[in-house]
Structures are given as structure tokens and as C-alpha cells.
């Protein structure tokens, strides 16, 4: 599949993924009439996305079952934290994002003479499965290994009093790379310079044998000072010992964003640093398309 065809497939997928079932079926029928080959590729991406969702639900169900067992044994069952909750020295101020696996809060803590902000990432109580916890610990270890000005750094990690794992990360007050470039009417040179900062962050991770696996504009923020920050190594993967110790490449685990995933991810094959390079190409294309 050439780059133009892949761009059409990705565009069609992004259109269909948010449609209700009936509307999706109608649009799919139109695609089949327009281009059977394109429709087949899009259908495969939709199936991969659905499979990933099923696996996440399975992990959540496993966590729920563990909570039920804990209750039956008389152990305290953790509760999801909310805005206004205290997490150690951190006060959760507002929700920055939510998903099936967890939530991210803006948090702050005060000390003598200063107030510090952080993005607090929490696993949902219903997702306290062994696999989810292993991935969470893996993310903490990966972030601890990354020290780069274009990577949102780890401040601390721990477990709440209720037993909920959390990560405190550098808070980035920014917007996605492509939106920043368009809103600021950045020139081609300026856009390429922003992209080179992203490449530097990814190169830093690759030098430490870490593959991000979910590079997309939403995980690349630019602040008011035009500083680029790469976020979310939640589905990242170490290429050697952690991969074996934590079994992060279990058969069937396809955790990525299909619209930006490399062909080997869509096929469920092994990933490598080349996987991130492919996604970087998609990000660059989207960064330059509206000049």
C-alpha cells in the first residue's frame, strides 16, 4: 500500500470509528461501492480496534472480580479518587483525561515558598488486574530511565492509601502538535523544527531501548513557549529484559491507535524502533498538510 492509499484508509477509519452502528454500516456500504480494496483495509482496522477494546474490557472484568474477592475476605476495597481528593501530598484539582483503563488529573501540592503542579495518572479501581499493574509499573520504570527536555518527566510513583497505583508526571500546559502548528500559522521551517524536537525525544527513548508504540499528535504537546513535550509511555515497550520479565508482548495485545499504527501493529506482528519511525512519518505528514 502506497502513502496516498494509506492516507485514504486512515482518513476513512477516523471518520467511521466515531459513528453509531447504523450510520457506520451505511457509510461502509458507500465505501464498498467506491473502492472495495479501501473498504477491506478499513474494515480490518475497525476489527483490530474492536479486538483491543474487548481485551481492555476483559482486564477490567478481571480487576472487578478481584475487588469482589477482597470484599468477601473482609479487606477494604479501593475507591476511585475524584476531584478534591487528597493523594498523599497531592490535591487532585481537575480531570485532564479519562479512559477505560484510568484517569489523569491535574494535581498540586504546596510547600514553604512554592506550589508544584503535576499530572497524576491513576489506574481505575475496576482495572486492578495483575496485567494492568505490571504495565503501570513498567511505565514507571521506563519514565524513570528517560531524562530529556522534550519528554514529560516522572516526578514520583507510588500507591494511594486505598491501594491505587499512581504516577506523578510533569504537567504540560500545551496543545497537540498539529493544532499548535495550525493555530500559530507556523511556517514549514517552524513545523519541521518542532518535528525535529519530537525526533530528538524519540531518539532518546530508542537509545534506551524503549519503543513508544503510540506516537500521535495527542501525545505530543507544545506549550506557549513553543516547547515540545512527548507524553504517555503507557503502552511503551522495552526491547529486552522488561519485555521478558513482564510479558508485555502477550499474543493478541494490540494496544495502539490504529490511525497512526505501523503495518506490523495492524497485523499483530512484533514491533521495533521502526514502528515509531513509521508513526513519526504520519505525524510529519499531518503537521505539513495544512500549510
CATH for 206: 1.10.510.10
Question: Which residue, of 153, 169, 185, is where some domain finishes?
Answer: 169
Same domain, 284 and 189: yes
Q: Residue ranges of the chain with pLDDT lower than 50?
A: 52-78, 240-253
Q: Taking a C-beta distance cutoff of 8 angstroms, is the pair 91, 109 a contact? A: yes
Same domain, 184 and 155: no
Same domain, 49 and 32: yes
In this structure, the answer to whether residues 157 and 91 fall within a common structural domain is yes
Classify residue 80 by burial, with Cβ atoms within 10 Å: 0-12, 13-18, 19+: middle
Q: Are 65 and 102 part of one and the same domain?
A: no
pLDDT at 132: 65
196 and 280 housed in the same domain: yes
Answer whether residue 78 is part of any domain. Answer: no
My answer on whether 201 and 275 are in the same domain is yes
What are the tens digits of pLDDT across the range 73-114?
444 444 567 888 888 889 999 988 876 567 889 999 987 778
Which residue has 478534591 as its cell numbers? 84
For residue 210, which phi and psi values (nearest 5 degrees)? Answer: -115, 125
| Residue 165 and residue 179 in one domain | no
Task: Let me know whether 52 and 90 are in one domain.
Answer: no
Residues 106, 206, single domain; the answer is no
Count: domains in the chain: 3
Q: Which residues contact 183 (CB under 8 A, 6 or more apart)?
A: 175
**Segment holding 120, helix H or strand E:** strand 114-123
Which one of the listed residues 49, 214, 232, 276 is annotated catalytic?
214
Among 169, 187, 203, the domain boundary falls at 169
In a domain, 80, yes or no: no
**0.85 cut: is pTM over it?**
no
Q: Do the domain assignments include residue 111?
A: yes
Angle subtended at Cα 184 by Cα 181 and Cα 186, rounded to the nearest 5 degrees? 60
Beta bridge partners of residue 119, listed in sequence order = 106, 169
Task: Give CA–CA dist 122/66, Å, rounded.
Answer: 18
Whether 99 maps to a domain, the answer reads: yes
180 and 281, same domain (yes or no):
yes
The whole-number pLDDT of residue 239 equals: 54
Residue 214 is a catalytic residue: yes
Range of the structural domain that residue 260 is part of: 174-288
Would you state the pLDDT for residue 242?
Answer: 36
Structure confidence by residue, pLDDT tens digits, 225-252: 999 999 987 555 555 433 443 344 433 4
Question: CATH code at 99?
Answer: 3.30.200.20
Collect all residues with Cβ–Cβ distance below 8 Å to 181 and sequence separation of at least 6: 190, 191, 194, 222, 287, 290
> Are residues 51 and 114 part of one domain?
no
Domain boundary among 50, 72, 94: 72
- Helix/strand number for the chain, H first, E second: 9, 11
Amino acid at each position: 500500500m502506497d502513502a496516498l492509499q494509506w492516507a485514504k484508509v486512515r482518513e476513512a477509519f477516523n471518520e467511521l470509528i466515531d459513528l453509531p452502528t447504523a450510520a457506520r454500516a451505511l457509510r461502509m456500504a458507500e465505501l464498498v461501492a467506491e473502492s472495495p480494496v479501501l473498504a477491506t483495509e478499513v474494515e480490518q482496522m475497525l476489527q483490530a480496534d474492536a479486538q483491543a477494546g474487548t481485551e481492555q474490557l476483559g482486564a477490567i472484568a478481571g480487576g472487578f472480580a478481584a475487588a469482589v474477592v477482597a470484599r468477601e475476605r473482609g479487606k477494604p476495597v479501593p475507591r476511585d479518587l475524584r476531584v478534591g481528593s487528597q493523594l498523599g501530598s497531592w490535591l487532585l484539582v481537575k480531570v485532564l483525561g479519562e479512559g477505560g483503563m484510568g484517569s489523569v488529573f491535574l494535581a498540586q501540592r504546596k510547600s514553604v515558598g512554592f506550589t508544584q503542579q503535576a499530572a497524576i495518572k491513576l489506574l481505575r479501581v475496576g482495572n486492578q488486574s495483575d496485567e494492568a499493574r505490571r504495565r503501570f509499573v513498567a511505565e514507571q520504570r521506563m519514565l524513570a530511565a528517560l531524562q530529556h527536555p522534550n519528554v514529560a518527566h516522572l516526578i514520583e510513583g507510588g500507591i494511594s492509601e486505598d491501594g491505587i497505583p499512581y504516577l506523578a508526571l510533569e504537567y504540560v500546559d500545551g496543545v497537540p502538535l498539529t493544532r499548535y502548528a495550525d493555530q500559530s500559522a507556523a511556517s514549514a521551517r517552524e513545523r519541521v523544527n518542532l518535528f525535529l524536537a519530537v525526533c530528538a525525544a524519540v531518539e532518546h527513548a530508542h537509545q534506551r531501548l524503549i519503543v513508544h508504540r503510540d506516537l500521535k499528535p495527542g501525545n505530543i504537546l507544545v506549550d506557549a513557549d513553543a516547547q515540545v513535550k512527548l507524553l504517555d509511555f503507557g503502552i511503551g515497550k522495552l526491547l529486552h529484559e522488561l519485555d521478558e520479565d513482564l510479558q508485555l508482548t502477550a499474543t493478541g495485545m494490540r494496544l495502539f491507535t490504529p490511525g497512526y499504527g505501523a503495518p506490523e501493529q495492524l497485523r499483530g506482528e512484533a514491533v521495533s524502533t521502526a514502528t515509531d519511525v513509521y508513526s513519526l512519518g504520519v505525524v510529519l505528514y499531518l503537521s505539513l498538510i495544512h500549510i
